[in-house]
Structure 1
Amino acid sequence: MRQLKIQQRHEKASSKKGRIRVEAILNAARDLLIEEGYASLSMRKVAARCHITVGNLSYYYASKTDLLNDLVDAVIQGYIGWWIGILNDKTLSSEQQFKALITFIIEDLETRETTAFFPELWALANHEEFANEAMDSVYDPVQQMLVTMIKRLRPTLNTHETDMLAVHMMASMEGHTVFLGYGKKWMRKSANMAQFIADSYYNLVMSYTAGTIEKSIINK
């Protein structure tokens, strides 16, 4: 998992002291999810990990919803900068950029933090609507990044087709956590699997016949 990257938009993080405190709170919430699971994510436990009172924590985050939204934002911002770097790397072809993004996502699955954090967020989203909305904040930027790269490879595909291809790849990549994640059976082969998966996704995009998705919907 990439390092958390909090945004300056947090009004309580405008000063150096406030920023340090917000970073500590977000890191505590992330570690709590990873180490103890979604059932243990509470304002009281986050405050205890930061060695502050719940009242002090509420000065920075009025609710668990606000805290989780900022945490998810900090997590995804830690990735976006790296992804944009790939998109803007003029030394790479469109194919190389696409495969570099896929390879990075797959190899990132094997870290302990990634293996634990995102499945815990999925579990929490099954029970809490605010967590379900937070998941959209995580995956929407990933989808947009994939769509951008797919359009570079296949500019003739329409928006619906690129969206569907991107969602299919996201679902597939996240599913690999079960097999390639930290401590999982196939983790030691993740580098080979990452290359294989990147190649297979690239071949899918390049071999996809325009109009196939629309035809399948009409035929139903």
Structure 2
Amino acid sequence: MSGRSPEQGKRTPTTTKGAQRRAALLDAAEKILFESGYGELTMRAVAATAQTRLGHVQYYFPSRTDLIAAVLRRTLDRSLDRLAPLFADAAEHTPPDTEGLIRQLLAEHDDPRLVRVYAELWALAGRDEAVAAVTRTFYGEYQDHVAGFLRARNPALPDTVCQARARVFTVLIEGASLFRSGIAAHRTEEADAELINTAGALLD
């Protein structure tokens, strides 16, 4: 995969039908990524899964890099759509429901397919700048949600402290997925309790 931007070379559909066709191709690519992994995610495999011509896939995604970056971006956007309301809802409680928030964030790890996609994402980001850019954008937005929660809870907290705590919190929660999903280890109640306490202290 090249280091080009995921936006370069990508054709943006200008019609509803074009958007639907592009979404169908991303559905096919996501299915392959979830079920078989990055190694099987080829342009021909997407065409076969979507039951369309290879040229049709190449029209919307001229390169494999464009295709992979687009499917990862969509998967990550959906994660943010799920996570953003959690921070807003938790902040509305008096006092803020930090434990409930953390448990809901950890519940994302319950989907083994999603955890595998994240593991693939991290591995790819180390080799491809286009995927790394998608990854940085996602985690930057994730971190912003955490920092916003901290500011709402403690307006006097300096921005540099908010950002630092938000980054460490994100590292804890996201890194924990490897150790709670069976990839690097299996979850235990004792470890989860320590994780929740440690992450919660960052939000105080």
Interval of TM-score (by shorter of Structure 1 and Structure 2): 0.7 to 0.9
Match of 2:93, SS state, is coil
- TM-score normalised by length of structure 2: 0.79
1:103-142 counterparts in 2 under 5 A?
103-142=103-142
* Residue 202, structure 1, aligned to residue 200, structure 2: yes
Partner of 1:81: 81
The answer to whether the 8 Å contact 1:76/1:138 transfers is: yes
Cα distance in 2 for residues equivalent to 1:118 and 1:13: 30
Unpaired segments of 5 or more residues in structure 2?
1-10
Unpaired segments of 5 or more residues in structure 1?
1-9, 207-220
Alignment-mate amino acid for residue 93 of structure 2: L
1:151-170 counterparts in 2 under 5 A?
151-170=151-170
Cα distance in 2 for residues equivalent to 1:168 and 1:139: 12
Superposition deviation, residue 180 in structure 1: 1.4
- Pair 1:25–1:188, CA change in 2 (3 A): farther
Partner of 2:56: 56
Cα distance in 1 for residues equivalent to 2:95 and 2:132: 33
The answer to whether the 8 Å contact 1:29/1:71 transfers is: yes
- Pair 1:189–1:55, CA change in 2 (3 A): farther
Cα distance in 1 for residues equivalent to 2:20 and 2:118: 24
Cα distance in 2 for residues equivalent to 1:84 and 1:77: 10
Partner of 1:178: 178
Match of 2:120, SS state, is helix
Superposition deviation, residue 115 in structure 1: 1.6
Cα distance in 2 for residues equivalent to 1:71 and 1:186: 28
- Pair 1:77–1:103, CA change in 2 (3 A): same
The answer to whether the 8 Å contact 2:88/2:149 transfers is: no
The answer to whether the 8 Å contact 2:169/2:202 transfers is: no
1:36-51 counterparts in 2 under 5 A?
36-51=36-51
Partner of 1:24: 24
Percent identical: 22
Deviations 1:71-113 (A, max 9, x none): 23322332333333334448533621x4443222211112122
The answer to whether the 8 Å contact 2:29/2:41 transfers is: yes
The answer to whether the 8 Å contact 1:151/1:162 transfers is: yes
The answer to whether the 8 Å contact 1:72/1:137 transfers is: no
Partner of 1:6: none
- Pair 1:152–1:37, CA change in 2 (3 A): same
Query: What number of residue pairs does the alignment pair up?
Result: 193
Superposition deviation, residue 185 in structure 1: 5.7
The answer to whether the 8 Å contact 1:28/1:46 transfers is: yes
Q: What is the root-mean-square deviation of aligned Cα atoms in Å?
A: 2.8
Cα distance in 2 for residues equivalent to 1:13 and 1:32: 26
